[in-house]
């Protein structure tokens, strides 16, 4: 396996930029001593030049002290004054004629958020709500001893924390880092038979053999960035969406393109195949959702309800419902028969960047532009868990494990993490990588994870036994 900039021709390799302090160039003529000036008490409103040497020793000492003071202040300013840094550049912020849903998010006032603090970060469970009750956390019990009336209680010292507990459970081992893509890898899926991974990004759509970790096929027909890919349940066909405004259907075995569908007026940001392999749903920059016949490539219907680009779309198992999210801060459920919205989920005014459905359709998970993981009950709409999963930055990769126990997320902070669905607690941390993680997939047997990011690499992890 050889692994949502304004200018579409500009790409960032490392996803980071900084503004160096500008040092003014000094003109050599400024080094020539100019005559000093002093006020003549006999002259009203006038000053006259006095030769520098005529100032005498006191004047020279005074000038020297002023010069020393100036140098001191300059040195202090270099340490105290903050250096100017640009906000983290998002290598995915590449626009078509309409807004890109994966641009760097803005706050409610419309101004860019400051870059996140890149110091040590640990995920935080904000709300864990297993019983559909308000997510209120009781205060921790006091460790103080009871004290007689009128005296202060005595605190017991906290027990020491074992910093290096012995690992006894399963672990994830990174077994390969493949290079093949020429730009950021923004979408990934593992075929249902577990044999291949399909990835897409700034260059092409590529297929990798998970046994040999080698690239085996490249689809070259897309004319622009490939945002999304999905595979049929029989692992025979792949469907992709691209910034070239098309949805395409491919044969995985031969690499032959079967259909190219073009009804979106902007880039196609998300595609999903129904579980019976009959239909495709796509969402795009034009804020529309479209349904297609996978066999004929025929356009069947269009759903309109979002006001800004759609970031993610999903069928439920029996395709009676459709789920979609948008940077208009909404996440909704559609009735497939009527084409109307029948449920809206409370997002807390967050930009939703990606969504995933649990295997039994009971839970809906989403990631946001500020690094949050949100999990709802699909039927009641109750928020079951809210986790600060990544540093405050766009989080685009999300997928459920096939047993429904875990949800995997990847963020622009470079972290790839696996959370317990019921409690929201972090179960596995698969590491932190340069330039962000933008896509992730887990195999049907739960033993393999594939992820891609801004450093152009496709990484492959395998579940191994702990010691």
Q: In degrees, to the nearest 5, what angle opens at C-alpha 346 toward C-alphas 139 and 428?
A: 60
Residue with tokens 């970031």: 311
Rounded distance between C-alpha atoms, residue 411 and residue 228, angstroms: 16
Q: And the tokens for 72? A: 């001191």
pLDDT tens string 240-259: 999 999 999 999 999 999 99
Answer yes or no: do 170 and 49 share one domain. Answer: no
Query: Which pLDDT belongs to residue 123?
Result: 82
Rounded distance between C-alpha atoms, residue 110 and residue 435, angstroms: 25
Answer yes or no: do 216 and 322 share one domain. Answer: yes
CATH classification of the domain holding 283: 2.130.10.10
Rounded distance between C-alpha atoms, residue 83 and residue 319, angstroms: 53
Residue 333 inside a domain? The answer is yes
Q: And the tokens for 337? A: 């028969």
Answer yes or no: do 76 and 170 share one domain. Answer: no
Count the Cβ atoms, other than its own, within 10 Å of residue 347.
Answer: 20
Contacts of 163 (CB under 8 A, 6+ apart): none
Query: Which pLDDT belongs to residue 61?
Result: 47
Answer yes or no: do 73 and 178 share one domain. Answer: no
* Contact between 420 and 384 (Cβ < 8 Å): no
The parent domain of residue 341 ranges over 124-131+166-464
Residue 39 inside a domain? The answer is yes
Residue 315 inside a domain? The answer is yes
pLDDT tens string 438-463: 999 999 999 999 999 999 999 999 99
Residue 202 inside a domain? The answer is yes
Residue 138 inside a domain? The answer is no
Query: Which pLDDT belongs to residue 140?
Result: 38
Residue 103 inside a domain? The answer is no
DSSP code of residue 67: H
* Contact between 409 and 419 (Cβ < 8 Å): yes
pLDDT band at 120 (very low <50, low <70, confident <90, very high): low
Q: Beta-strand (E) ranges in 252-351?
A: 257-261, 268-273, 279-284, 288-293, 299-304, 310-315, 321-326, 331-335, 340-345
- Average model confidence (pLDDT) for the chain? 75
pLDDT tens string 301-320: 999 999 999 999 999 999 99
Answer yes or no: do 302 and 437 share one domain. Answer: yes
Query: Which pLDDT belongs to residue 393?
Result: 84
Residue 51 inside a domain? The answer is yes
Residue 8 inside a domain? The answer is no
Answer yes or no: do 176 and 276 share one domain. Answer: yes
* Contact between 413 and 151 (Cβ < 8 Å): no
Answer yes or no: do 61 and 181 share one domain. Answer: no
Answer yes or no: do 173 and 51 share one domain. Answer: no
DSSP code of residue 155: B
Query: Which pLDDT belongs to residue 169?
Result: 61
Answer yes or no: do 205 and 64 share one domain. Answer: no
Domain tally, the chain: 2
Q: Closest by alpha carbon to 451, among 392, 408, 419, 420? A: 408
Q: Closest by alpha carbon to 58, among 31, 36, 30, 74? A: 36
Answer yes or no: do 389 and 249 share one domain. Answer: yes
pLDDT tens string 27-84: 333 333 333 323 233 333 333 333 333 334 444 444 454 445 454 444 434 333 333 2
> Is residue 85 pLDDT above 90, yes or no?
no
Q: Closest by alpha carbon to 452, among 436, 467, 465, 463? A: 436
Answer yes or no: do 175 and 70 share one domain. Answer: no
Residue with tokens 């902007």: 266
Count the Cβ atoms, other than its own, within 10 Å of residue 72.
Answer: 10
Q: And the tokens for 71? A: 């140098």
């Amino acid at each position: 396996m050889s692994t949502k900039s304004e200018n579409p021709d500009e790409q960032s390799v490392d996803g980071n930029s900084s503004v160096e302090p500008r040092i003014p160039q000094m003109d050599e003529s400024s080094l020539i001593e100019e005559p000093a000036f002093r006020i003549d008490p006999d002259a009203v409103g006038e000053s006259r030049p006095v030769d520098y040497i005529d100032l005498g020793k006191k004047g020279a000492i005074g000038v020297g002290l002023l010069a020393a003071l100036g140098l001191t202040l300059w040195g202090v300013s270099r340490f105290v004054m903050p250096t100017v840094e640009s906000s983290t550049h998002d290598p995915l912020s590449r626009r078509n004629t309409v807004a890109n849903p994966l641009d760097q998010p803005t706050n409610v006032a419309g101004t860019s958020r400051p870059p996140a603090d890149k110091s040590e970060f640990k995920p935080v469970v904000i709300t864990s709500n297993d019983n559909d009750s308000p997510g209120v956390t009781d205060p921790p019990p006091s460790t103080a001893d009871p004290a007689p009336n009128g005296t202060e209680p005595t605190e017991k010292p906290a027990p020491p924390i074992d910093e290096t507990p012995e690992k006894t459970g399963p672990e994830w081992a990174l077994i390969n880092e493949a290079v093949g893509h020429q730009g950021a890898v923004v979408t990934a899926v593992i075929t249902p038979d577990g044999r291949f991974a399909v990835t897409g990004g700034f260059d092409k759509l590529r297929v990798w053999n998970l046994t040999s970790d080698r690239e085996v096929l490249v689809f070259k027909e897309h004319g622009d960035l490939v945002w999304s890919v999905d595979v049929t349940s029989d692992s025979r066909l792949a469907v992709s969406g691209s910034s070239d405004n098309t949805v395409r259907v491919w044969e995985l075995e031969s690499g032959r393109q079967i259909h190219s569908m073009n009804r979106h007026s902007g880039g196609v940001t998300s595609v999903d195949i129904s579980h019976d392999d009959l239909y495709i749903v796509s969402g795009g920059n034009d804020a529309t959702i479209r349904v297609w016949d996978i066999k004929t490539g025929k356009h069947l219907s269009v759903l309109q309800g979002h006001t800004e680009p759609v970031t993610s779309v999903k069928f439920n198992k029996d395709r009676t419902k459709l789920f979609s999210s948008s940077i208009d801060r909404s996440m909704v459920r559609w009735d497939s028969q009527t084409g109307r919205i029948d449920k809206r989920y409370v997002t807390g005014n967050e930009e939703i960047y990606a969504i995933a459905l649990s295997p039994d359709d009971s839970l809906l998970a989403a990631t946001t532009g500020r690094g949050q993981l949100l999990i709802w009950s699909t039927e009641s709409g109750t928020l079951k868990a809210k986790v600060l999963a990544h540093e405050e930055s766009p989080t685009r990769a999300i997928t459920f494990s096939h047993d429904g126990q875990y949800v995997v997320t990847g963020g622009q902070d470079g972290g790839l993490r696996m959370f317990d669905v019921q409690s929201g607690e972090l179960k596995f941390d698969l590491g932190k990588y340069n330039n962000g993680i933008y896509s992730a997939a887990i195999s049907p047997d739960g033993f393999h994870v594939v992820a891609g990011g801004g450093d152009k690499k496709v990484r492959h992890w395998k579940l191994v036994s702990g010691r």
